[in-house]
Structure 1
């Protein structure tokens, strides 16, 4: 194996894959270094959505650069690098066109921006990849891509795309047929069943990463797994020359002639860094990203050579709950509850028994509200999701499936009064989970009044298109409000989990890592959650992590090729400009 490459990419998620694909397409030799024994990173386990404003798919849909910037400027509350923000808006459509040209299929999804009431908001900026046949990676690579969580599979086995997920989540008309089709499709795929238990249908994040990696491998990019970044190497002038890595205890250097791209994810699994940066640190084990994966090694290594950081005070928050693993109750799984907390027939309260947020808001805003409420009251983190038998019959509560799938008699005995709580009255439920009875009963009484009128005067739950998108259309007059009045009553604790960290290495509009004085560190780039979000503290829409990750990976590769005079790269750019 050669230990000299034009470009060395640290991390195999969306940011690293995009940087590698673009650099290889521009004629550069590329190595991807991945510390895990699976490739694809957190992105492969995600929903696989990219937030791409002004993408132009399916012709002119009315979006524009100006509308996107108007929206972003109206929702971003913290100071950000305006030049970098504009670079994202300008380059994201170019990145998407590049993906399409290389053979990665993409399509727009009807997903409202997370702040639909703000000027410039739209419902078509989220982009997804259709289902991908994992066997197209080759039998050697197909089982090596990081697999989706159980929460994204039916019965912990059958892959679900987003349409199937929402059909089953809402028990839409024909959902039983959807289940039967998924099971039949899996078991009639005899050739794959002989090779692996894994469904050959790569969906959501696996679909995106599978399609991208098919093109990455086709261009000769080398991937080394189980290889951990130890140091970023510099010469006497401070120019990055490569990296030191380790594999099963063996340390060795890899030289990068033209650049190193750090794309190794955030630091959500590093409790020390959480304690250092977060006002309310939370626990690393509540993260919904791959366990112990993103520990901030790239951030730490870059800081050692003078790199600076920004926006490190917040994560990409999402409410989560914890349950024992099936058939292994000593071990736990984290389950996302992003949409469950805003369903009708339920309410979320802090430990004072009081509401603190529009429960149906975007999951990042929900997490920010948990943090803010905890700073004010000290009675959040976790909060409680309270619901009745109607909710229990129809909706999931994190990892607790609806009673049509998991009736109470099928819930393991060691879950009750530890992970899930039940009582015949709200008063008895309050006593069981140690909440003050009078505030909780008053909260439920008010929610029942709101359900009858369809108006939530406290927080406006169900009052915008985003809330309603994930509500229950059969519940009227407000799809997000239903009376909490049918016994038994239930409660599950909700933690402030995350999809990664918003803050990281400070970069400029060309994805170059900056030192403490704001100067680029020569030959060092960063993208994805390893770098600071261009949106600061804001999560503008579905795909607000993967969209910038892939865009700035793309931007980094372009800058490396242009800066080092790569002839093929210049020819490519000219051809694209004239296309």
Structure 2
């Protein structure tokens, strides 16, 4: 390994603590942890540095889904497919942004990555057999078997690390308990309507409160929380050193090669030399205001961007890569993974960010602009909601919309942070998060919406929704939309009139689940310079890496799937490079 005294960009490192490893991973989401676990299994000494005081990054907030066509789960169930299917689908969605090398490399490696984790680690998944691609009317779209989700996990198996796991967004939980998409959520939504669902939910709640009593925190881990927990357990089992509160401030170089990093922990600065490679996986730039202004037109126009990602994701990895000669793509269709967000007042004075991913597809809700007019298929992909909201905003005005529903809807499905019956909604009315009125015009006036426009929109919507039709936006006509709806509601699971007062509204602003625009890499996750050449020793994964989807959002799981896959590929590439250098050194010594 190089001597740290000679690699700190030409400056002496006297007085600093000196650490060494083979692979240094910066960031602890799915991309970083997958790289760390894989590298450790390949025989390398690995250190993970996390700036926050908890592990998990955006992954811990996520649904824990990965888009992986031909996953081992699908093959085992006899549901494998010709790779031309997903390639055709992506070509139609991505258009000129389709990068055959990156896409085809991903489609080949992702199933192999899953197979490795299922066989060698504590990371396990359940198949998304009924989870469709977002755009079911596009050639190559599938109605299921292209997704997997992290299997639930008993947090007690993490031991002391459980207290250092980032918890889910509080408002997306039920009293701190995570609820998984699919059957788990359906049971909770049906708890007051079905004895079997009531029994299921009662058992979950009893166990949850028992866990709080004996462990002081939830231990039934779901979704992205379960994925991070499984990766952490696997990392510890493989001998990975994990550090929180470690903010990387500089990459160390020996000529053009990146050979480590300087980081601060408390007030102490450390240099850590990584003999084989450094992987950047710090979660992109969802809270880097300068870069958001550069990359997002609505931010330049004066509309703030409210990402649901952790606030510690502030573009550190991207800045480090740029300082080492890397560059960020400016050719994304959209620079962020858009999602509609509502701002949630909290008792401690902070403001939460609730991502609206689920209830928009249920029957009996619409989204409107200040004019009172609809602008989007409410049950469609969350990415489209924000994109269309921004497009519908008059020039010079802030981008904002409202989700509107009636009393039947909010008590049946909830609305954002407001939970369904029997959970009270009083505090949300008192703190201003939720607006209520006896009539549609009064609700409009309280929200700043045109009353005549909103009444006209609802009257028109109701007339068609009663028959299960939506001539304006064709809601409920694709498999994804129908899965998002209520299968017990007929004739269209996504449509019902809004008629039972009082009426309710929640204000929606542009947000995201993270960023798409990132560091340009090759298919081995090696960071490329402005000439397209790899920067020796430097890799990127997760949202630090430029999205292979070109700034589009074709299906759920297109962030975590590539994050884990390219973390896995980065570790494999580092191991190959290390072996080649060792072979080369052995030959030179022999000569």
Give the secondary structure class of the aligned counterpart of 1:38: coil
2:268 is matched with which residue?
250
Question: Deviation per CA, 1:331-387, whole angstroms, max 9, x where unpaired?
Answer: 22222221222322221011121111100001112122222223x655562201111
Q: Which runs of 5+ in 1 are unaligned?
A: 570-579
Kept in 1: contact 2:428–2:434 (CA 8 A): no
CA–CA separation in structure 2 for the residues paired with 1:22 and 1:213: 12
2:231 is matched with which residue?
212
Give the secondary structure class of the aligned counterpart of 2:298: coil
1:135 is matched with which residue?
156
CA–CA separation in structure 2 for the residues paired with 1:34 and 1:369: 35
Which residue among 521, 536, 555 is the counterpart of 2:535?
Answer: 521
> Do residues 149 (structure 1) and 161 (structure 2) align?
no
Which residue among 461, 468, 477 is the counterpart of 1:447?
Answer: 461
CA–CA separation in structure 2 for the residues paired with 1:360 and 1:463: 10
Task: State the TM-score, normalizing by the size of structure 2.
Answer: 0.89
1:180 is matched with which residue?
202
How far did 1:31 drift? 0.8
Give the secondary structure class of the aligned counterpart of 2:371: coil
Question: What is the correspondence of 1:132-531 to structure 2 with a 5 Å cutoff?
Answer: 132-138=153-159, 140-154=160-174, 156-162=175-181, 163-169=183-189, 171=191, 173=194, 174-189=196-211, 193-194=213-214, 196-236=215-255, 238-281=256-299, 286-290=306-310, 292-310=311-329, 311=331, 313-325=334-346, 328=347, 330-374=349-393, 381-407=399-425, 410-411=426-427, 414-415=430-431, 418-531=432-545
CA–CA separation in structure 2 for the residues paired with 1:386 and 1:32: 45
Kept in 2: contact 1:170–1:395 (CA 8 A): no
Q: How many residues align?
A: 555
Q: Structure 1 160/429 Cα, relative in aligned 2: closer, same or farther at 3 Å?
A: closer
Give the secondary structure class of the aligned counterpart of 2:350: strand
How far did 1:527 drift? 0.5
How far did 1:567 drift? 10
How far did 1:329 drift? 5.6
Moved more, 384-393 or 549-558: 384-393
Question: What is the correspondence of 1:565-576 to structure 2 with a 5 Å cutoff?
Answer: 565=579
CA–CA separation in structure 2 for the residues paired with 1:309 and 1:343: 38
Which residue among 555, 561, 569 is the counterpart of 2:575?
Answer: 561
Question: Deviation per CA, 1:179-222, whole angstroms, max 9, x where unpaired?
Answer: 21012223445xx744x321222211121122222121111111
Question: Deviation per CA, 1:310-332, whole angstroms, max 9, x where unpaired?
Answer: 1564211111212222xx16222
Question: What is the correspondence of 1:24-63 to structure 2 with a 5 Å cutoff?
Answer: 24-57=40-73, 58-63=76-81
Question: What is the correspondence of 1:527-538 to structure 2 with a 5 Å cutoff?
Answer: 527-538=541-552
Kept in 2: contact 1:50–1:547 (CA 8 A): yes
Kept in 2: contact 1:351–1:379 (CA 8 A): no
Kept in 2: contact 1:286–1:497 (CA 8 A): yes
How far did 1:73 drift? 0.9
Q: Structure 1 82/445 Cα, relative in aligned 2: closer, same or farther at 3 Å?
A: same
CA–CA separation in structure 2 for the residues paired with 1:24 and 1:472: 45
Question: Deviation per CA, 1:404-458, whole angstroms, max 9, x where unpaired?
Answer: 3225xx335632xx32222222122222222222222221111112202322112
1:576 is matched with which residue?
none
Kept in 2: contact 1:245–1:252 (CA 8 A): yes
Q: Structure 1 329/246 Cα, relative in aligned 2: closer, same or farther at 3 Å?
A: closer
Moved more, 512-521 or 75-84: 75-84
Give the secondary structure class of the aligned counterpart of 1:243: strand
Which residue among 89, 105, 124 is the counterpart of 2:145?
Answer: 124
The alignment's C-alpha RMSD in Å is: 2.2
Kept in 1: contact 2:18–2:271 (CA 8 A): no
2:589 is matched with which residue?
none
Question: Deviation per CA, 1:100-128, whole angstroms, max 9, x where unpaired?
Answer: 11132222112111112222222121101
Q: Which runs of 5+ in 2 are unaligned?
A: 1-16, 584-591
How far did 1:524 drift? 0.8
Kept in 1: contact 2:189–2:420 (CA 8 A): no
2:14 is matched with which residue?
none
Question: Deviation per CA, 1:48-92, whole angstroms, max 9, x where unpaired?
Answer: 111111113124303232111111111114524321111111110
Q: Structure 1 157/146 Cα, relative in aligned 2: closer, same or farther at 3 Å?
A: same
